[in-house]
Structure 1
Amino acid sequence: MIETLKSYYKQQRDKHIEELMQFVRIPSISAVAEHQPDIIRCAEWTAASLKQAGLENIEIMPTDGHPVVYADWLHAPGQPTVLVYGHYDVQPAEPLELWSTPPFEPVIRDEKLFGRGSTDDKGQLLLYVKVVEAFLHTNGSLPVNIKFCIEGEEEIASKNLPPFVEKHKDKLKADVITLSDTQMQGPGKPALMYGLRGLAGFEITVEGANSDLHSGLFGGAVQNPIHALSKLLSSFHDDDGRVAVKGFYDRVIELSEKERESFKQVEPDSNKIRSDLQVDTLYGEKGFSFYEQTTSRPTIEITSVSGGFQGEGIKPIIPSRAIAKVACRLVAAQIPDEIMDTIETHIHAHTPPGVKISIDRQLRGNPFLTPIDEPVMIAASEAYEESYGTWPVYTRSGGSIPIVEVLGRLVDAPVVLLGFGLPGENLHAPNEHFHLENWDKGLETISRFWLKLASKSEQ
């Protein structure tokens, strides 16, 4: 079957690439109101492409923002259902003068397709549509059931997708979710990103006297909110960089030896990092490498501290108020509000006398993790290996993509991030491009993945 599909992809390559270029020509910039007509046009183009591929029940579904495009093909009884997520919106192209060619007039140079959205995410999304087309054209059916959920707001934080998924979770019900909006480790080096850190952010306000006080008349007799805040913040960590908040690590899933071995393949040179940052030494929780610290361990980071007179010179006062902003990066299976509960308990237990504390919770994002020994992850790894000739490395991101966790939680299915982008493809930057070698390999990998999901369900 796979050879038949590869032959079809080869025969149709020029046509498929031209369709990708049509897709890229639409300036579907979600952040700019004047491009609303382009967003609608792009949603319609996406729906038409899904129909042309042979998908059914195609809908352009409204949200409180930009529409979601839905389609399905559900004629594989007894086989798993795969929900494909992607987005048709793109980032603004400015600064335009830094582009070698206009951002919405795609061109191919050195087997790279240049244009805004070529790798993020139109090129990677269209792979799935063409895999559907190939199976239906050559075989008349798909090996698995397929649903598509394609949004138009990913580049503006997907603010309307969570309520959409909540409302339509029965319609979107699936056994596995897959998306391609991530990167490989390098040319010919596939990577499966299986974990993302979550986020919890809050503001601490420390209040002392009812007004700023003369430091000569009151200094040494009235608590200084900045002193109190400094002492409080210093209590968050011990001398070895470990978070000292009771209960903070209770839900953390420790790394397996297999994961730690895999991480060694992607571990950056810490000496180079130190040199690039121009710091004498790196600092962090002992017992973990730089990569482990920044992807698989939770943190409490104080992002700003303010209080007192901020102008030129020194104003000798005891300020009435001091404020700190804090951002925590979380890992599976930590829960943002639960973590903020433990920190708030710690704060109240360590508040110095003479001040009042208030806490304003502002940011929440759950971490995401699909264990690498999940059957769907093994199937994806095998598909990569057969297409690229090498087993993928397993990676985590220190950042957050909240919608990935939302989809996995609301649909109640594991998420597989099949990335085909490459580092250096300038997503979000001028001269964004997509290596067409990974267009070819991506089609093959997705095809093999779906075939493996079907065969594993029959075992």
Structure 2
Amino acid sequence: MGGDGRGRPAEAAPEYRDEAARLARRHRGDGDVLRLRFRRLGQRPGDQRGRRQVSAVEAYLVAHADEALEDLKAFCRIPSVSTDPAYRDGIRSAANFVAQRLTRAGFPTVEIIETDGHPAVFGEIIGTADAPTILVYGHYDVQPPDPVEKWATPPFEPTVRDNRLYARGVSDDKGPVLIPILVVEAFLKATGRLPLSIKILVEGEEESGSPHFSPLVDTMRHRLACDLVVSADGAMWRADRPSMTVASRGMVALDVVVTGAAKDLHSGRHGGSAPSPIRALAAMLASLHDRDGAVTVPGFTDGVIPPDPAILDAIDAAGFDSAAYFAGIGAPAPDPLPSGHDLLVRQWLVPTLEFNGIFGGYSGPGTKTVIPSSAGAKITCRLVAGQEPGKVAEAIRRHLETHLPTGYSLDITRHGPGTKAFSIDPGLPALAIAETLLGEMMGATSLRVAMGATIPIGSVFKEHLGVGTIFFSFSTSDEDYHAPNEFFRLDNFSIGQIAWARLFQRLGLSMGGK
């Protein structure tokens, strides 16, 4: 734990400590006592005005905490599932919600940008003449809520329990992306000015692999020009330990369908003589891994680059508890139990091939004696540095074609171009600024961590805008995004607002603003 150099924690300045604590209490109700210690922001000559400005902003956020929570609930009621055409109206409603909320916050320029897929929302507000420009990124689309029967409360009826808000998309990414919008509003209402110029781009296809995002950014590159991208999408390592994500795995997604007969067949009349697509598919899928779970596809790991030693050091510093991990996900621990180091290596640094769903035949209640005409699987691969999504997809295609039994046909659909693995320049000044800020607020040194998941935008912004990206999200990795009962800690919703306000102020000062 960091301190003031005298062996004890440095206390927060009263105006910061009190505002942050009050904001958290407004959301907490009867919940747990906030365990995070807020620490004093570093000061520099000429910084007094900035400190007063941030204090006023934090006071505004405290006073309007109830309205902020209601905004988040309203956002989460919108079923903005991007992968299912049945939710098209929800997608449009969510885009409209974001546009209206930006306008209400005080953005003079707000536009819904149409793409070949779902729309994105763009906003812009100019700060002082010499202020730097940051681009805030987030997404309004969410994962499907299935299986709905496993939710304790309906996924699109936000519910507060134990100081957590439960809803589909609340942690990924509606809560985190709403935070910087609230903070911009607070700056404008409390002080009448911003310490920097802010652009924001909120897309509607992140949960579908962002297939149209790169062309969108390329088309808008002049309007999106900035000094830095700050992503509200991402995840903290733990609720009680600050962290900055510095790397994420890439991804490629495939649908595989095996077809036998031209129609479904009676399993008594045709069993034993007709082709069985489910049996063929099961054997083909089993061939993709060995008994230990290692991918067996020739060419799958071609081009893999050894990991940065700094990431291996970060794994050691994380102190990951493998027994607690298996208990937390509700799975029996393997014997022998792998070390926490080995588990994080697998999650952060090893490419994977996972089955996300298998379909075919009858899966309703009771029995239906049928041999389906086709069966399929949804596959996603997480990629590491050096892997090319297209080459990985082609390697899988060749492997499956080789293992396709006679008497069947195979169809493979690739969803979008895929995403390469991404890493942040470790020397990026904004990264150090954010780390220092989080460490001061949370009373512990910020970790640099990798992410096993995929956030496509970092490499896209680097390619088209030529700038770096930092991830500044207040989701945590245990909040069940992509699963039933997704939730967002309301303490994090409060703390995130304070942190974004201070980040805006510090970036404005350090990058040239007054």
Instruction: Give the alignment's TM-score, normalised by structure 1.
Output: 0.72
**One-letter amino acid matched to 2:209:** A
Q: Secondary structure at the match of 1:4?
A: helix
1:295 maps onto 2:317 in alignment:
no
* Aligned counterpart, 1:409: 463
- Deviations along 1:364-399, one digit per CA (max 9) or x if unpaired, are 532211133310100111221232222321111234
Change (3 A) 1:39 1:331: closer
Q: Secondary structure at the match of 2:488?
A: strand
Change (3 A) 1:398 1:88: closer
1:445 maps onto 2:496 in alignment:
no
1:152 maps onto 2:204 in alignment:
yes
Alignment partners' CA distance in 1, 2:352 and 2:439: 38
Change (3 A) 1:182 1:446: same
Change (3 A) 1:122 1:453: same
**One-letter amino acid matched to 1:96:** V
* Aligned counterpart, 2:223: 171
Alignment partners' CA distance in 1, 2:218 and 2:127: 25
* Aligned counterpart, 1:209: none
Residue 140 of structure 2, aligned match among 80, 83, 88: 88
Change (3 A) 1:163 1:102: same
Alignment partners' CA distance in 1, 2:167 and 2:252: 35
Aligned residues: 385
1:384 maps onto 2:405 in alignment:
no
* Aligned counterpart, 1:308: none
* Aligned counterpart, 1:44: 96
Alignment partners' CA distance in 1, 2:192 and 2:236: 32
* Aligned counterpart, 1:278: 334
Alignment partners' CA distance in 1, 2:57 and 2:319: 36
CA shift, 1:272, in A, is 8.0
Retained in 1: the 8 A contact 2:311–2:450?
A: no
Residue 60 of structure 2, aligned match among 8, 13, 19: 8
Change (3 A) 1:194 1:44: same
Alignment partners' CA distance in 2, 1:336 and 1:31: 20
Alignment partners' CA distance in 1, 2:503 and 2:391: 37
Change (3 A) 1:107 1:248: closer
Change (3 A) 1:142 1:34: same
Retained in 2: the 8 A contact 1:144–1:454?
A: yes
Change (3 A) 1:45 1:373: same
* Aligned counterpart, 1:434: 488
- Deviations along 1:284-326, one digit per CA (max 9) or x if unpaired, are xxxx9553464246x59899xxxxxxxxxxxxxxxxxxxxxx9
Residue 193 of structure 1, aligned match among 236, 245, 253: 245
CA shift, 1:267, in A, is 4.6
Tell me how large the CA RMSD over aligned residues is.
4.0
Greater Cα shift, 67-76 or 264-273 = 264-273
Q: How does 1:97-176 map to 2 (within 5 A)?
A: 97-176=149-228
Higher CA-based Rg: 1
- Deviations along 1:65-105, one digit per CA (max 9) or x if unpaired, are 11111001123333321111111112222333322222222
Alignment partners' CA distance in 2, 1:140 and 1:425: 36
Q: Secondary structure at the match of 1:165?
A: helix
Retained in 2: the 8 A contact 1:267–1:291?
A: no
Residue 308 of structure 2, aligned match among 240, 255, 270: 255
Alignment partners' CA distance in 2, 1:76 and 1:192: 29
* Aligned counterpart, 2:75: 23
Alignment partners' CA distance in 2, 1:141 and 1:51: 16
**One-letter amino acid matched to 1:278:** P
Q: Secondary structure at the match of 2:136?
A: strand
Retained in 1: the 8 A contact 2:167–2:487?
A: yes
Retained in 1: the 8 A contact 2:322–2:337?
A: no
CA shift, 1:333, in A, is 6.2
* Aligned counterpart, 1:310: none
Alignment partners' CA distance in 2, 1:390 and 1:433: 25
Instruction: Give the alignment's TM-score, normalised by structure 2.
Output: 0.65
Residue 320 of structure 2, aligned match among 268, 271, 289: 268
**One-letter amino acid matched to 2:194:** L
CA shift, 1:122, in A, is 0.8
Retained in 2: the 8 A contact 1:63–1:164?
A: yes
CA shift, 1:335, in A, is 5.7
Alignment partners' CA distance in 1, 2:484 and 2:387: 37
* Aligned counterpart, 2:111: 59
Unaligned runs of 5+ in 1: 203-232, 234-240, 304-325, 344-359
**One-letter amino acid matched to 1:92:** P
* Aligned counterpart, 1:348: none
**One-letter amino acid matched to 2:420:** N
**One-letter amino acid matched to 2:195:** P
Unaligned runs of 5+ in 2: 1-50, 255-287, 289-294, 356-378, 396-411
- Deviations along 1:314-363, one digit per CA (max 9) or x if unpaired, are xxxxxxxxxxxx9986544666679999x9xxxxxxxxxxxxxxxx9977
Q: How does 1:218-367 map to 2 (within 5 A)?
A: 252=305, 255-256=308-309, 259-269=311-321, 276=332, 278=334, 290-292=343-345, 294-296=347-349, 330-332=383-385, 364-367=418-421
- Deviations along 1:1-27, one digit per CA (max 9) or x if unpaired, are 322222111101011111111111112
CA shift, 1:449, in A, is 1.3
**One-letter amino acid matched to 1:5:** V
Q: Secondary structure at the match of 2:135?
A: strand
Retained in 2: the 8 A contact 1:82–1:175?
A: yes
Retained in 1: the 8 A contact 2:121–2:202?
A: yes
Q: What percent of counterpart residues are identical?
A: 31
Change (3 A) 1:373 1:114: same
Alignment partners' CA distance in 2, 1:300 and 1:105: 34
**One-letter amino acid matched to 1:445:** A
Change (3 A) 1:374 1:289: farther
* Aligned counterpart, 1:208: none
Alignment partners' CA distance in 2, 1:248 and 1:66: 34
CA shift, 1:131, in A, is 0.8
Q: Secondary structure at the match of 1:69?
A: strand
Retained in 1: the 8 A contact 2:83–2:143?
A: yes
Alignment partners' CA distance in 2, 1:402 and 1:43: 20
**One-letter amino acid matched to 1:404:** G
CA shift, 1:121, in A, is 0.9
